[in-house]
């Protein structure tokens, strides 16, 4: 019976870890465990497993677990935690998410049921805003850590107050109310040692000074009060942006803002300031402090399975329309010529591979009209201030990144003109990132993050034509008005209504010598297509004269020698004249050719 089930909730935060065991519907925990901080970005697998084992030894065996952990951002993070949980509690069902989900679940346990959206505004050592509306859509803002974000956090408040203190002392010679209290807390005799202290202080060490800032403000330190007000306004603006996202395209209903974290819990005197700021912009807002520990949200996760968080910022449909294939892709068929590849004499195997690769250009040639259309589209996009973006996974993605990286040195293009978007990110360029190509949402997120719009051309590259990451990117790009194209090696695709890209090059390169290894002929074909696309696009944009790189970026000795030869060939100038002109112009070949041609 459910009443006999024990639910273990674990919340790992930047300040401390709390674990509770409770029965469903209980208001009191049966057992409790506390430990130090455990942010996923700052803890090793060995340390995290040791923490879980300490919890297992201290608390009863659970029927299911819920874990909310600071630093969790991706499915890969969740898989990492789930694997460690399974080693400590084998075969016990587990739900893992970030600590904001647990805070939101805890808020829902004591909150109003009729709200349109509920948003947790967290300010502890770090800060973040996380909310969910009635439809289950979520929005998350912040949580980028103290080096990139965490506005309104304990760390941000204390750090800003220290900067204020130094600025005030240098201008007036006074530390105000705050200065002497900092010296007392850190056992310093003057401000000079603060330089060494801040260099070695942890995020938690700095955040620990936050109560001093609030105390100084309460005792009349106007600088401390200004620091707090500025920090809180920044965080509350994030909370209001979350509300805007959750209530977009409909009349805003009741929105509940729930304040969580040590900064809010320990400073109730600032609640009127917070309430005024939120209600001034969101008249339907109600504001309250989280009544119970957010670890109770982890207990709630243990009692029910929540699906993965869907960021409201990514406009993906629940199901990305991926084309079907009415027949097996040619690249997955077995090549009759290589059936005995494992026993073939080496010289003969080499000849066979070269012969197969030699068939690739004619296969591409059958799609010359489509390739021409793609080149003209790229020229229009770049001429209008747009970009050419390649999206792919595995070999396809790496070749896109390679072609994009070659454009700035070859054609002196700005680095943003041609971009490669790789499933799994930078790590996937040199190693396999498991599951990256199957994550359609991540593909869509990448396109939103790159701010793709109607001026851009997005080219998906997928040997099978069915890679979810690529199709997530294509769908979001199309929704944002961009022109889309697909390069693939499966001529048997059937596209769902309304999903076909504007240009499709479905080249049939036939079966690979090594069955399914699309780094071979499919990879060669991809390289040839991308070479042709960017080279002839740049020719049309005036970056080539005759067959010479008129606009190359001579960034090394080899390229500077080439630049001199290009100037000599195009203008008839001697080497000395060409070299002098290039050096004077900052090695701008096109500018020098035009100038010498006019006898400047």
Q: pLDDT by residue (tens digit) across 511-527?
A: 999 999 999 999 999 99
Helix (H/G/I), strand (E/B), else coil: 126: coil
Q: Are 254 and 278 in contact (CB under 8 A)?
A: no
547-597: CATH, from 1.10.8.1080, 1.20.1280.290, 3.30.1490.190, 3.60.20.10: 1.10.8.1080
Can you give the pLDDT at residue 18? Answer: 93
Distance CA 474, CA 477 (A): 5
Q: Which of 49, 406, 591, 594 is catalytic?
A: 406
Instruction: Tell me the C-alpha to C-alpha distance, in Å, between residue 471 and each of 73, 496, 508, 522.
Output: 22, 12, 20, 19
Can you give the pLDDT at residue 72? Answer: 85
> And the tokens for 368?
């010359």
Q: How sure is the predictor about 249, in pLDDT bands with cuts at 50, 70 and 90?
A: low
Q: pLDDT by residue (tens digit) across 80-119?
A: 899 899 999 998 999 998 888 888 888 888 766 678 889 9
pLDDT of 189 higher than 80? yes
When mean pLDDT is compared across 240-249, 332-341, 395-404, the lowest value belongs to 240-249
Distance CA 260, CA 274 (A): 13
Pairing mode of beta strands 117-123, 127-133: antiparallel
Residue 298 CB-density burial (10 A; 0-12 exposed, 13-18 middle, 19+ buried): buried
Distance CA 264, CA 38 (A): 21
Which residue has tokens 């051309």? 457
The fold of the 2-99 domain, in CATH, is Nucleotidyltransferase; domain 5 (3.30.420)
Among residues 490, 485, 489, 464, the alpha carbon closest in space to that of 473 is found at 485
CA end-to-end distance (rounded Å), the chain: 92
Can you give the pLDDT at residue 73? Answer: 78
Element (H, E) at 287: strand 285-289
Q: pLDDT by residue (tens digit) across 406-464?
A: 999 999 898 889 999 999 888 888 887 767 888 888 898 889 888 899 999 999 999 99
The CATH architecture of the domain made up of 117-283 is 2-Layer Sandwich (3.30)
Can you give the pLDDT at residue 308? Answer: 35
Can you give the pLDDT at residue 3? Answer: 52
| Residues found in the chain | 600
Q: How sure is the predictor about 153, in pLDDT bands with cuts at 50, 70 and 90?
A: very high
256 vs 318, more confident: 256
Q: Are 469 and 487 in contact (CB under 8 A)?
A: no
**Mean pLDDT, range 144-168, rounded to an integer:** 92
Among residues 404, 476, 398, the alpha carbon closest in space to that of 443 is found at 476
% residues pLDDT > 90 (the chain): 56
Q: How sure is the predictor about 315, in pLDDT bands with cuts at 50, 70 and 90?
A: very low
Q: How sure is the predictor about 505, in pLDDT bands with cuts at 50, 70 and 90?
A: very high
Within this chain, domains 2-99 and 117-283 share the same CATH topology = yes
Q: What mean pLDDT value characterizes the chain?
A: 89
Residue 144 CB-density burial (10 A; 0-12 exposed, 13-18 middle, 19+ buried): middle
Estimate to the nearest angstrom the gap between the alpha carbon of 85 and the chain centroid. 26
Helices 575-585, 589-597: crossing angle, 10 deg rounding: 120
| Residue 357 falls in the annotated catalytic set | no
Biggest CA pair distance of the chain: 93
pTM for this predicted structure: 0.59
Alpha helices (H) in 137-258, listed in sequence order? 154-172, 178-186, 194-200, 203-207, 210-218, 222-246
Instruction: Tell me the C-alpha to C-alpha distance, in Å, between residue 596 and each of 255, 410, 483, 569, 572.
Output: 68, 22, 40, 12, 9
Dihedral angle sign, alpha carbons of residues 298, 300, 305, 307 = negative
Can you give the pLDDT at residue 306? Answer: 36
Among residues 238, 510, 162, the alpha carbon closest in space to that of 246 is found at 238
Distance CA 308, CA 302 (A): 14
**Mean pLDDT, range 470-492, rounded to an integer:** 95
pLDDT of 273 higher than 70? yes
Q: Which CATH superfamily is domain 324-540 in?
A: Glucose-6-phosphate isomerase like protein; domain 1 (3.40.50.10490)
Q: How sure is the predictor about 1, in pLDDT bands with cuts at 50, 70 and 90?
A: very low
**Mean pLDDT, range 65-79, rounded to an integer:** 86
**Mean pLDDT, range 479-501, rounded to an integer:** 94
Distance CA 118, CA 108 (A): 8
Can you give the pLDDT at residue 551? Answer: 85
Can you give the pLDDT at residue 113? Answer: 63
pLDDT of 508 higher than 90? yes
For the chain, the domains span 2-99, 117-283, 324-540, 547-597
Can you give the pLDDT at residue 247? Answer: 82
| Residue 406 falls in the annotated catalytic set | yes
Can you give the pLDDT at residue 445? Answer: 84
% residues pLDDT > 70 (the chain): 95
pLDDT of 314 higher than 50? no
Can you give the pLDDT at residue 307? Answer: 35
Q: Which of 437, 512, 591, 594 is catalytic?
A: 437
**Mean pLDDT, range 140-156, rounded to an integer:** 88
Distance CA 435, CA 391 (A): 16
DSSP assignment of 312-331 equals TTS---SS--PPEESS--GG
Radius of gyration of the chain (CA): 30
The DSSP code for 428 is: G
Dihedral angle sign, alpha carbons of residues 576, 578, 579, 581 = positive
């Amino acid at each position: 019976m459910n009443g006999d089930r024990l639910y273990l909730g674990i919340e790992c935060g930047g300040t401390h870890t709390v674990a509770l065991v409770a029965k469903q519907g209980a208001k009191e925990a049966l057992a409790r465990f506390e430990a130090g901080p455990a942010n996923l970005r700052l803890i090793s697998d060995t340390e995290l497993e040791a923490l879980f084992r300490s919890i297992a030894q201290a608390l009863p065996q659970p029927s299911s677990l819920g874990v909310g952990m600071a630093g969790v951002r991706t499915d890969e993070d969740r898989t990492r935690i789930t694997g460690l949980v399974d080693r400590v509690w084998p075969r016990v069902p587990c739900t893992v998410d970030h600590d904001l989900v647990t805070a939101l679940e805890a808020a829902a346990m004591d909150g109003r049921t009729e709200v349109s959206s509920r948003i947790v505004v967290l300010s502890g050592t770090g800060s973040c805003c996380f909310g969910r509306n009635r439809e289950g859509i979520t929005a998350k803002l912040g949580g980028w850590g103290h080096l990139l974000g965490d506005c309104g956090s304990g760390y941000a408040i204390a750090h800003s107050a220290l900067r204020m203190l130094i600025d005030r002392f240098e201008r007036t010679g006074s530390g105000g109310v705050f200065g002497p209290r900092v010296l007392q807390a850190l056992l310093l005799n003057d401000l000079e040692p603060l330089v060494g202290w801040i260099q070695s202080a942890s995020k938690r060490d700095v955040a620990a000074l936050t109560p001093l800032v609030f105390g100084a403000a309460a005792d009349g330190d106007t600088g401390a009060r200004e620091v707090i007000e500025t920090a809180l306004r920044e965080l509350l603006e994030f909370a209001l942006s979350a509300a805007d996202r959750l209530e977009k395209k409909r009349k805003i209903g009741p929105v509940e803002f729930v304040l969580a974290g040590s900064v809010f819990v320990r400073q109730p005197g600032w609640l009127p300031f917070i309430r005024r700021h939120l209600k001034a912009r969101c008249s339907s807002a109600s504001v309250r402090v989280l009544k119970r520990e957010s670890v109770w949200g982890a207990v709630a996760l243990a009692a029910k399975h929540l699906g993965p968080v869907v960021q409201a910022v990514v406009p993906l449909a629940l199901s990305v329309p991926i084309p079907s294939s009415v027949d097996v892709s040619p690249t997955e068929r077995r090549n009759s010529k290589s059936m005995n590849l494992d026993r073939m004499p080496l010289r003969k195997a080499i000849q066979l591979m070269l012969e197969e690769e030699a068939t690739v250009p004619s296969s591409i040639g059958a799609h010359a009209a489509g390739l021409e259309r793609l080149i003209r589209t790229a020229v229009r996009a770049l001429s209008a201030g747009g970009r050419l973006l390649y999206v792919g996974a595995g070999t396809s993605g790496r070749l896109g990144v390679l072609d994009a990286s070659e454009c700035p040195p070859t054609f002196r293009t700005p680095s943003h003109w041609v971009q490669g978007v790789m499933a799994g990110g930078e790590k996937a360029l040199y190693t396999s990132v498991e599951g990256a190509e199957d994550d359609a949402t991540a593909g869509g997120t990448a396109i939103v993050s790159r701010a793709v719009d109607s001026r851009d051309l997005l080219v998906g590259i997928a040997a099978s034509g069915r890679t979810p990451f690529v199709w997530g990117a294509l769908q979001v790009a199309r929704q944002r008005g961009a022109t889309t194209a697909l390069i693939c090696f499966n001529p048997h695709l059937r596209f769902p209504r309304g999903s076909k890209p504007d240009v499709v090059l479905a080249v049939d390169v036939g079966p690979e010598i090594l069955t399914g290894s699309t780094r071979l002929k499919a990879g060669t074909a991809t390289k040839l297509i991308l070479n042709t696309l960017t080279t002839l696009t740049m020719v049309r944009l005036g970056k080539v004269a005759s067959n010479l790189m008129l606009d190359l970026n001579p960034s090394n000795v080899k390229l500077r020698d080439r630049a001199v030869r290009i100037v000599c060939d195009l203008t008839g100038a001697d080497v000395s004249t060409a070299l002098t002109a290039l050096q004077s112009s900052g090695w701008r070949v096109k500018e020098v050719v035009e100038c010498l041609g006019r006898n400047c």
